[in-house]
């Protein structure tokens, strides 16, 4: 392997899913100013909106989120093509 191309700050980081408060540890070089204590040890914290524990593909639970009536707009726009 080439020397000097790999990051130096590779360490354990806590990733927190903000939708269900799930926390998991993995190695990362992500830059963050926040920390979180897990099992008495303090780790850098990266907040996420969605992860494997909340994503519908992995959980098998589909959730329809319609913001600003997008589905209704789509249906009215393409209703004229309906036979």
Task: Give every CB contact of residue 4 below 8 A, 6+ residues apart in sequence.
Answer: none
> Given this model, what pLDDT does residue 39 score?
93
Q: Whole-model pTM? A: 0.63
> Given this model, what pLDDT does residue 68 score?
64
Q: How confident is the model over 41-59, as pLDDT tens digits?
A: 999 999 988 887 877 666 6
C-alpha separations of 30 from 21, 42, 62 in Å: 19, 16, 30
The arithmetic mean of pLDDT across residues 16-42, rounded, is: 92
> Given this model, what pLDDT does residue 19 score?
84
């Amino acid at each position: 392997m080439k020397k000097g191309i790999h990051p130096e700050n590779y360490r354990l980081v806590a990733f927190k899913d903000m939708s269900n408060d799930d926390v998991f540890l993995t190695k990362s070089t992500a830059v963050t100013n926040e920390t979180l204590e897990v099992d008495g040890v303090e780790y850098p914290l990266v907040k996420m909106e969605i992860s494997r524990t909340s994503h519908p593909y992995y959980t098998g639970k589909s959730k329809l989120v319609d913001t600003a009536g997008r589905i209704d707009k789509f249906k009215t726009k393409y209703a004229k093509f309906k036979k």
